[in-house]
Amino acid sequence: MFKIIENPYLQEEILTIIILIVFLILKSIIAKIVIKYATLNDALEHRTNLIIKYINILLGVLAILSIVIIWGVKRDQILLFISSVFAVVGVASFAQWSILSNITAGIVLFFSYPFKIGDVIKIHDKDFPIEAEIEDIKAFYILLKTIDGETITYPNNLLMQKGISVIKKHKEISEFTD
């Protein structure tokens, strides 16, 4: 007859499947929430896709970390593993502080920025005041075009630290509507 084979990894397999299902569900729900937020605030589609991409990367890293813990780390070594991961991430974050701060500032600007592409803004910097039109808002920097035609790339993290005045609003049609 049939012999029942006992699977010693059944618990790990079930937890892995659960994590993958939760990852896919969260990915879908968060994408819908971000798109709805972007539609309500007339955000550009490529900026919205960039934010969704960052959130998906974060969710993916968390899912992979969870699966590694389930499969590769014994329960008595979880604290050692987590502290090692945080040490590596801490060193990498310190080494790449500028890049990470610009990405974080780009995400914050997406959800709470008072200006949009096409607006004319004034950056209140005592050493280098800028009055320019916003051409594009990227992940790491913002593209500005001055009255003289000069194109300036301004880091997102500095944009969060300086005072900004919106001089002229630009009306824009949302890319999400038909």
d(CA 95, CA 58): 19
Q: Which residues pair with 172 in a beta bridge?
A: none
Domain 115-168 has CATH 3.10.100.10: no
| Range with lowest mean pLDDT among 69-78, 101-110, 123-132, 133-142 | 69-78
Q: Domain residue spans in the chain? A: 10-95, 115-168
pTM > 0.75: yes or no:
no
Residue 66 sits at the vertex; the CA angle it makes with 61 and 68, to the nearest 5 degrees, is 95
Residues 174 and 39: their CA atoms lie apart, in Å, by 7
The candidate with the shortest Cα–Cα distance to 106, out of 62, 42, 41, 160, is 160
Summarised one tens digit per residue, pLDDT across range 98-128 is: 677 777 777 777 777 677 788 888 888 888 8
Which range has highest mean pLDDT (15-19, 74-78, 141-145)?
15-19
Mean pLDDT estimate for the chain: 79
Give the pLDDT of residue 75: 59
Q: What are phi and psi of 54, to 5 degrees?
A: -65, -45
Confidence bin at 171 (pLDDT 50/70/90)? low
d(CA 102, CA 165): 20
Q: How confident is the model at residue 178 (pLDDT cuts 50, 70, 90)?
A: very low
